[in-house]
Amino acid sequence: MAAAPTIWTIGYERASSDALLSSLKQAGVKVLMDVRDLPLSRRAGFSKSTLRASLEATGIEYLHLKGLGTPKEGRIAAKRRDYDLFWQIVDERMATPEAEFDLLRAAEVARERPSALLCFEADPAVCHRQRVADALADRFGFRIEHIHPTAVV
């Protein structure tokens, strides 16, 4: 019997761009799936176009899966540390047709090539990417591994 495929997750909250890229390469990731609703960041190197260019320069493909992102009201709840509301909003989003479409897409890509889910939070326990990874594990048999970039900003 074949081993379960792995889905990695990574957060860039405390990482430099170089540390993120190095950690992805070390794990053998070939596709970075950005699961932010809005792939923008005040942190240099983490907005969609710049991140895509940096990844592609190191041989990693970039894929934005907007349907799996947390909507604005969820991000506001998380910032306030209202986690009950945050998880409710995340679960509502995960039940949408857009999320289902992008979850199926994520599973298909991750079966073919080593892939990681990207979001902001360093700790996956307080990030919606954990729910996405859990859905991939529960529905498609993925094994979850979290990457923790070592270089701190």
Indicate left, alpha or beta for 141 from its phi (over 0: left) and psi (-120 to 50: alpha): left
Residue 44's pLDDT band (boundaries 50, 70, 90)? Answer: confident
Report whether pLDDT(151) > 70.
no
β-strand partners of 31 = 61, 115
Provide the percentage of residues in the chain whose pLDDT is more than 90. Answer: 90
**What is the chain's mean pLDDT, rounded?**
94
Q: How confident is the model at residue 139 (pLDDT cuts 50, 70, 90)?
A: very high
Is residue 150 over pLDDT 90? no
Let me know: does 37 contact 66? Beta carbons within 8 Å. Answer: yes
Q: Which of 6, 24, 54, 62 is nearest to 151 (CA)?
A: 24
Report the share of the chain in percent with pLDDT over 70: 97
Scanning 61-128, the segments in alpha helix (DSSP H) are: 72-79, 83-94, 97-112
So where are the chain's domains?
Answer: 10-114+129-147
**pLDDT score for 20:** 95
Q: Are 25 and 31 in contact (CB under 8 A)?
A: no
Output the pTM of the full model: 0.94
pLDDT tens per residue, range 59-90: 999 999 999 999 999 999 999 999 999 999 99
Instruction: Round to whole Å and give the CA distance between 71 and 134.
Output: 19
The per-residue pLDDT for 136 is 98
What is the separation of C-alpha 146 from the centre of its chain, rounded to a whole number of angstroms? 10
- Which one has a higher pLDDT value, 151 or 123? 123
Q: Which residues contact 29 (CB under 8 A, 6 or more apart)?
A: 8, 60, 114, 115, 116, 147
Residue labelled with tokens 């509301």: 85
